[in-house]
Amino acid sequence: MTIFEKIAKREIPAKIIWEDDDAIAFHDVNPQAPVHVLIVPKKVIPRLSDAKESDRAILGKLLLVARDLAKKLGVEQSGYRVVINSGPNAGESVPHLHVHLLGKRALAWPPG
């Protein structure tokens, strides 16, 4: 069981800011920006490359939740970044697909 599954089951505490039957969003414990939220599907999809056609709806939902949370957290107008790391060389640290929403500071390009 991944740390994200444990958070969704309330076995590990987290600062949850949004949840429905399909996904959960919470503040990252090691934030890389003043706003750093993780949006995680409750269904375990190890990484983007493991997603199936049947996951199309949840993948789209994750992006729409990121949009909604950007507005709620006050970064819609100033700008924000949405990131999905897929695989160890991309910085993936938990083998459970998740979306990072980062904002409230200037974000360099290209990312490191």
**CATH of residue 69:** 3.30.428.10
Q: E strands along the chain, which residues? A: 16-19, 23-27, 35-41, 80-83, 99-103
Q: Which domain holds residue 88?
A: 3-103
Active site residue 27: no
Which listed residue (27, 36, 96, 98) is catalytic? 98
pLDDT tens digits for the chain (112 residues)?
A: 999 999 999 999 999 999 999 999 999 999 999 999 999 999 999 999 999 999 999 999 999 999 999 999 999 999 999 999 998 888 898 999 999 999 999 999 888 6
Question: Model's pTM, two decimal places?
Answer: 0.94
In a domain, 108, yes or no: no
In a domain, 35, yes or no: yes
Cis peptide before 110 (omega within 30 of 0): yes
Q: What is the pLDDT of residue 112?
A: 67
In a domain, 109, yes or no: no
In a domain, 37, yes or no: yes
The domain total for the chain is 1
